[in-house]
Structure 1
Amino acid sequence: MKILFTEMHQGKTQAREKLIQGNIRLVLSVIQRFTNRGEYVDDLFQVGCIGLIKSIDNFDLSQNVRFSTYAVPMIIGEIRRYLRDNNAVRVSRSLRDIAYKALQVREKLINDNSAEPTVSQIAQHLDVSREEVVFALDAIQEPVSLFEPIYNDGGDPILVMDQLSDERSGDEQWLEEISIKEAMKKLNDREKHIVSLRFFAGKTQMEVAEEIGISQAQVSRLEKAALKQLRKYV
């Protein structure tokens, strides 16, 4: 590998071709992760090959890193960009650019500080408003299909659409609001605060994390525990 990279940097095109052909297995192993997306495997393979070629052209021999360690994230990133860009829900190029840069900055700050950065810190590094960062990150989230199975006990699966309904009477709404208020009393102050911000103020987990001074992972864990507690009483 080192000899081929050295020859490629000297301008030998055959060495570059050998590197590409010799590492096709990396692309084949990566696209296995994305075969359940409904995309054509041939398309994913071609996009993965673009990621492989980029990683070969940009690989730095002076760094003490295995090529596969460097190439696999590059291939995955290229495929993810393709899937996002070809999403049924169209997102503007400027929003996607902000979102991708925000994700890169987030990873860098985590590596540098060993801690989850706040939205404001990411926004400061990008020199944009925190609202733009939140909106951009929300915009690139993949939509969930109404036919996505959420539970299966061996029989017919329960789909997302099975959990949706708009046929509710005023009495049912009123009784549910009362039961939720009573259930909220069973939570501690931090859990109440998180539930209120998430489901009554409509804030994202990252926004809640910044407001109360903890990580997004902690917000997610506390939110799940609070919802589990609420379900006992509602």
Structure 2
Amino acid sequence: MEASQDTGEDRITRAYADPASVRPHDAREIGRHFFDRLTGLEEGTHEYSYVRNCLIEMNLSLVHYVASRFKHRGPQEMDDIVQVGTIGLIKAIDRFELTREVEFTSFAVPYITGEIKRFFRDTTWAVHVPRRLQEARLHLATATEELRTRLGRIPTTVELAELMQLTPSEVAEAQKASNGYASVSLDAAISGSSDESDTMLADFIGVDEDRFELVDNFHSLAPLIADLDERDRRLIHMRFVEERTQSDIAAELGVSQMHVSRLISKIIRTLRAGLADAH
């Protein structure tokens, strides 16, 4: 008894019933039938949507293939990457035409890859850096791994620059930009443990800024100085802006140095009292 042969029509019939079961190497030929069918249907109809969905399901393996190349790029779950890649697949299906002299897989891969790269570029950087440096980071990672394998050690900046055909300063800029890819909470324990006794990262970085109060005082002093009479403002300007000595000021005003000293001390007491009231 002869075994029944699996014809192309049989595979197409099964694809309509269960598109996810179509094997990748069969999707190329079966896909041509679905694209041809899609061309003759009116967009927005139930039948059009069904055929389009079949094309999506039978090509999901292509999305998984492309997504697997990005599994080491970041902390994102693979399900998220596949979901984003599927958007690229749908765009490719909507724009593909059988009249193109190219296989659908060759047409779709750039769409899928581009959508995933855009996802990483727009959502995974903790600090915004120029796109040029984001792309340089990818080349830097590839070059570093290649040289590390070849040399058996971490490559130098000069060695990376030679391989990447960049200047050492450009490589250093890309290395610095890589620090913006991921962020760590200041409350993170140095040991990596969540134990409350661990020292936190915040204990090692940052200092108390003592000049914030100075800036605040500058803003508070401005109206107080504006309220001084012209002589007092002139004295303040000569002493603290022009940084002239009291004897020099006394000679210009035609008074004694002691008188200048008493005037400046009086002005300073007035300003200090005004600051105290302001705070």
TM-score computed with the length of structure 2 as normaliser: 0.37
